[in-house]
Structure 1
Amino acid sequence: MFKGSMVALISPMKPDLSLDWEALHKLIEWHIEQGTKAIVAVGTTGESATLNVKEHVEVVSKVVAQVAGRIPVIAGTGANSTSEAIELTQGALDIGADACLLVSPYYNKPSQEGLYQHHKAIAEAVDIPQILYNVPGRTSVDMLPETVIRLSKIDNIIGIKEATGCMQRLQDIRAGVSDDFLLLSGDDASALEFMRLGGCGEISVTANVVPAQTAKMCELMLAGQVEEARAIDEYIQSLHQALFLESNPIPVKWALARMEMCTDAIRLPLTQLSEQYHQPLLDAMKSVEVL
């Protein structure tokens, strides 16, 4: 159910920084048409840090309603407060999300035991499939393989989005979890190699801009057609790099605005893409023929 290219969808906004429901509708239909296999709503790329709880739940609700079962919807419901994560996860269950993505608690830097107890408490409180999300570059805490393996034994913790880009990390986790535990890349630049070594897909920022190519690359990899997949990955590799010239989702929102899919409005403390990065990102977009 959760395999292949899954987009970490932006939350489009109007110039006044209110949520842009018309643009959201357009993006959802485009992704389904282009072959995206699942939508992650209100993750890091969806500006979860600056949406309030009401907005957070409303975005997920609108995505679920519009998708209408055509592809899975995964709600980003992580928080650095366990009680808040439970509230968001329960909200996602109530409005019909298919699963939740829970980033490791950020800023307060829990121990490995704290990470285990945090995710265990959420899993026990809310009966919905849950995917762990390890991205130490943004959270300042690294969920180690042994913690992932412990958590994988909880029935409704079904996988992990691993964003370190470290292939040894993938192999260490894979050695200790069951074959049906989902291993998803959270790093576009290394996603092909991640799948070659046993991953079943990626939760992608790049898929916001080139959904068809990202979906096809994942499809080919999962079918064992490595060289064909590699050709696509090499074609879009410059875009992988350019979309992280500044903190995500600054570049991807700017790119989508150039494609007339939405505005580049973004909430503080994030700001619009610095002028020095405009041309490099434009060049990457032109190289993959989206402009």
Structure 2
Amino acid sequence: MNQCRQALLVARNSVEAVKNLRLITAVKTPYLPDGRFDLEAYDTIVDLQIANGAEGLIVGGTTGEGQLMTWDEHIMLIAHTVHIFGDAIKVIGNTGSNSTREAIHATEQGFGVGMHGALHINPYYGKTSNEGLIKHFESVLEMGPTIIYNVPGRTGQDIPPSVIERISDKRNFVGIKECVGNDRVGAYVKKGLTIWSGNDDQFHDARWDYGAQGVISVVSNLIPQLAHKLLFEGKDSELNEKLLPLIDWLFVEPNPIGLNTALCQLGLIRPVFRLPYVPLGKEKRREFVQMVNQIGRHHFVGDKDVQVMEDNDFLLLDRF
């Protein structure tokens, strides 16, 4: 087999491997009191994800606070994850940017350190035209398996189906993390595209009623085993309804505020926040304790008792 053909076969197999993932966790990045990554806590979090059925990780996404990282930190965390866990779980690096030049550079580095796939958001804030979106995505699709991420609530701009139609036949296009809703999910599925729900409150129905492949999830940081059950063991509306109050609580303030607070309360991470994120207030922390007890502490990650915590337990960093 010549070298070129072999490279194409590897790329095709890699795309299919990412396409087959069902439960992908957008993993949290924990910190030490000086603001550096707490890699010991991070490794514990990832170990728990693997043990409880997660098949992929988004590293340095919104949930992992890639927006608060330098690119050096970002690529280091992807490299660390691949080095320690790359044989046990697929590592998908968030290497998107509102600058095409930065997105290309970060994606080259990410694949250079061994990530299995890239997650790419559309250019945000400055935005661009639909033709600009197409050119942007075409530039990053050259490098390896790529999931396109559509979350207009954060970017201020929808990626319309007309754009996806133009790029979906490109080499390395894997599928879409779609946050617009299940009608959009269903329409893409009918066209044969691979879709992950980006909305935790909708992923059960997206999977079983609309044909989504799975979810890229925030709540699976907390309850990976139950998230796995909802995706793999058939429709379970009763369990889904039981978890919706927890999901609503997680997003009462912009993600990852709720998740950060919850993982602190569960004793999985140090109570350190990089500003501008701050913990949820004490009343919301009490609500979380009640929900953990109602759902069952054994369903949540970790083995420490859940705590309400005091306001002065949290460390807020403006320089790190």
Q: TM-score w.r.t. structure 1 length?
A: 0.92
In structure 1, C-alpha distance between the alignment counterparts of 2:62 and 2:251, rounded to whole Å: 13
Output one character per residue of 1:159-216: Cα deviation in whole Å (capped at 9) or x when no partner: 000012x22211232343xx3x320010000001111211011000000000111011
Q: Secondary structure at the match of 2:177?
A: strand
C-alpha change, 1:111 and 1:274, in structure 2 (3 Å) is farther
Are positions 1:172 and 2:167 aligned together? no
Structure 2 stretches lacking a partner, 5+ long? 1-16, 298-305, 307-320
Letter in 1 for 2:183: Q
Aligned length in residues: 279
- Contact conserved, 1:6 with 1:37, CA < 8 A, in 2? yes
The residue number in structure 2 matching 1:15 is 33
- Contact conserved, 1:4 with 1:201, CA < 8 A, in 2? yes
Output one character per residue of 1:62-111: Cα deviation in whole Å (capped at 9) or x when no partner: 11111131121111111100111111111110111110111121111212
The residue number in structure 1 matching 2:162 is 146
In structure 2, C-alpha distance between the alignment counterparts of 1:107 and 1:53, rounded to whole Å: 19
Output one character per residue of 1:126-178: Cα deviation in whole Å (capped at 9) or x when no partner: 2x1000000011110110112112211111111000012x22211232343xx
Correspondence list, 1:1-291, <5 A: 1-2=17-18, 3-124=21-142, 126=143, 128-164=144-180, 166-176=181-191, 179=192, 181-196=193-208, 197-220=210-233, 225-226=234-235, 229-290=236-297, 291=306
Q: Secondary structure at the match of 2:66?
A: coil
Q: Secondary structure at the match of 1:169?
A: helix
- Contact conserved, 2:186 with 2:212, CA < 8 A, in 1? no
Task: Tell me by how many angstroms 1:231 deviates.
Answer: 2.9
C-alpha change, 1:111 and 1:277, in structure 2 (3 Å) is farther
In structure 1, C-alpha distance between the alignment counterparts of 2:202 and 2:110, rounded to whole Å: 30
- Contact conserved, 1:265 with 1:272, CA < 8 A, in 2? no
Task: Tell me by how many angstroms 1:276 deviates.
Answer: 4.2
- Bigger radius of gyration, 1 or 2? 2
- Contact conserved, 1:160 with 1:183, CA < 8 A, in 2? yes
C-alpha change, 1:26 and 1:141, in structure 2 (3 Å) is same
Output one character per residue of 1:4-26: Cα deviation in whole Å (capped at 9) or x when no partner: 21110011111222110110111
Letter in 1 for 2:28: I
- Contact conserved, 1:64 with 1:95, CA < 8 A, in 2? yes
Q: Secondary structure at the match of 1:120?
A: helix
Q: Secondary structure at the match of 2:42?
A: helix
- Contact conserved, 2:185 with 2:197, CA < 8 A, in 1? no
Output one character per residue of 1:224-277: Cα deviation in whole Å (capped at 9) or x when no partner: x22xx3233222211111110111111101101111111232212222223342
In structure 1, C-alpha distance between the alignment counterparts of 2:292 and 2:97, rounded to whole Å: 33
Coordinate RMSD, CA, aligned: 1.4
- Contact conserved, 1:5 with 1:202, CA < 8 A, in 2? yes
In structure 2, C-alpha distance between the alignment counterparts of 1:110 and 1:187, rounded to whole Å: 25
In structure 2, C-alpha distance between the alignment counterparts of 1:247 and 1:50, rounded to whole Å: 15
Q: Secondary structure at the match of 1:266?
A: strand
Q: Secondary structure at the match of 1:188?
A: coil
Letter in 2 for 1:10: K
Runs of 4+ in 1 over 3 A off after TM superposition: none
Q: Which moved more, 1:108-117 or 1:239-248?
A: 108-117
Letter in 2 for 1:216: K
Task: Tell me by how many angstroms 1:280 deviates.
Answer: 2.7
Q: TM-score w.r.t. structure 2 length?
A: 0.84
Q: Which moved more, 1:233-242 or 1:245-254?
A: 233-242
